[in-house]
């Protein structure tokens, strides 16, 4: 009888802290296969690991996966958590090693912004002023500026983003198209805890009570998705019922929109986005949903459910 032992070989990714070192590393590799970028702010979790796995698949065995770890001061507003944002580079490197990453660029702030705040920044346009942009003025200018800079430093063929930051991936995709940056922007679904809470680097700020309260965000989104066949109002009401019942959640916004962030359609594909404060921690989440053409029975002028609505 023969026994086989399977060993997983992980190779440590190359840790680089300058753009010049990264350029040197990438130069001979560009002809071999695609360069795939995963931009992050570190404090990596399994959601980030999903992005890396997807990047590895897209790059193929001959391509190169680059993860950037950079807490971008430009995207934090006054009084936000820039100073307390978790920095866990050693653990991040281990995660990158376990997920087939070739190189990690973890630059200092003055490597990315050598002259201090850049004079020329990216203006996000009208989509940058709504939802997260309305609550966090200047946030998307900071995000798009650093993403444009990282695109310039890494010159990737593909960049991988999480669906969880839905407005962010929409804006980055638009920027790449509108400014012809030539980077294919790919989105990966949100990784959740078994109970539904979306993984976030900020979850580590939550104490056990806050962690329990935070669950209302994903529960509310799911309730809305379940009610979506009754129409937009029913979906909104279902989500608000969950959020209103949780005193530990201070709602910032609950927005039902079309998948391109324009006004929600009467029926068909839509997207629900939620942002809320739990204690001092601001969390966001999102789910796609399908809206039915008919609205909730209680919205019906006669108060009578239609036959379609009676069907469970």
- Binding site residues, ligand AMP, CB under 6 A: 40-41, 47-48, 50-51, 161-162, 164-165, 188, 190-191, 198-201
Q: Which is nearer to ligand AMP, 161 or 205 (by Cβ)? A: 161
What's the rounded Cα separation, in Å, for the pair 289 and 299?
20
Phi-psi sector, 285: left (phi>0), alpha (psi -120 to 50), beta: beta
**Contact status, residue 269 vs residue 259, Cβ threshold 8 Å:** yes
CA angle (112 as vertex; 106, 203 as ends), nearest 5: 50
Q: How far is the CB of 132 from ligand AMP (least distance, A)?
A: 12
Catalytic residue numbers read 48
Q: Which is nearer to ligand AMP, 198 or 234 (by Cβ)? A: 198
What's the rounded Cα separation, in Å, for the pair 111 and 201?
24
Q: Which is nearer to ligand AMP, 218 or 294 (by Cβ)? A: 218
Q: Which is nearer to ligand AMP, 242 or 283 (by Cβ)? A: 283
| Alpha helices, DSSP H, located in 32-88 | 46-59
Residue for token pair 């279902």: 238
- Detail the DSSP E strand segments found in 199-304: 249-257, 268-278, 281-291
Calculated CA dihedral for residues 111, 123, 189, 61, nearest 10 degrees: -50
How many CB atoms within 10 Å of residue 6? Answer: 4
Q: Which is nearer to ligand AMP, 160 or 227 (by Cβ)? A: 160
How many CB atoms within 10 Å of residue 10? Answer: 13
Q: How far is the CB of 72 from ligand AMP (least distance, A)?
A: 9
**Contact status, residue 32 vs residue 1, Cβ threshold 8 Å:** no
Q: Which of 171, 167, 189 minimizes the C-alpha distance to 179?
A: 171
Q: How far is the CB of 5 from ligand AMP (least distance, A)?
A: 33
């Amino acid at each position: 009888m023969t026994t086989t032992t399977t060993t997983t070989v992980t190779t440590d990714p190359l840790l680089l802290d300058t753009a010049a070192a990264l350029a040197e590393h990438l130069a001979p590799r560009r002809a071999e296969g695609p360069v795939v970028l995963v931009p992050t702010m570190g404090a990596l979790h399994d959601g980030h690991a999903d992005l890396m796995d997807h990047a590895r698949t897209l790059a193929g065995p001959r391509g190169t996966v680059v993860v950037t770890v950079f807490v971008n001061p430009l995207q934090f507003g006054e009084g936000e958590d820039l100073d307390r944002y978790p920095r866990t580079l050693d653990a991040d490197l281990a995660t990158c090693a376990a997920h087939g990453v070739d190189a990690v660029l973890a630059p200092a702030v003055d490597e990315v912004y050598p002259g201090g705040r850049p004079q020329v920044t990216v203006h996000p346009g009208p989509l940058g002023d709504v939802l997260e942009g309305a609550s966090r003025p200047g946030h998307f200018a900071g995000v798009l500026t650093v993403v444009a800079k990282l695109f310039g430093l890494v010159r990737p063929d593909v960049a991988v983003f999480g669906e969880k930051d839905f407005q962010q991936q929409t804006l980055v995709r638009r920027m790449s198209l509108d400014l012809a940056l030539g980077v294919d922007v790919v989105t990966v679904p949100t990784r959740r805890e078994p109970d539904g809470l979306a993984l976030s680097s900020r979850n580590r700020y939550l104490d056990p009570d806050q962690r329990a309260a935070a669950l209302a965000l994903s529960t509310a989104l799911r309730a809305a998705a379940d009610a979506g066949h009754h129409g937009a109002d029913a979906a909104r009401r279902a989500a608000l019922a969950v959020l209103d019942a949780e005193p530990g959640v201070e709602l910032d916004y609950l927005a039902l929109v079309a998948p391109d962030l324009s006004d929600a359609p009467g029926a068909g594909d839509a997207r629900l986005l939620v942002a809320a404060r739990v204690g001092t921690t601001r969390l966001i989440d999102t789910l796609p949903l399908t809206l039915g053409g008919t609205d909730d029975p209680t919205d019906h002028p006669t108060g009578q459910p239609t036959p379609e609505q009676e069907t469970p």
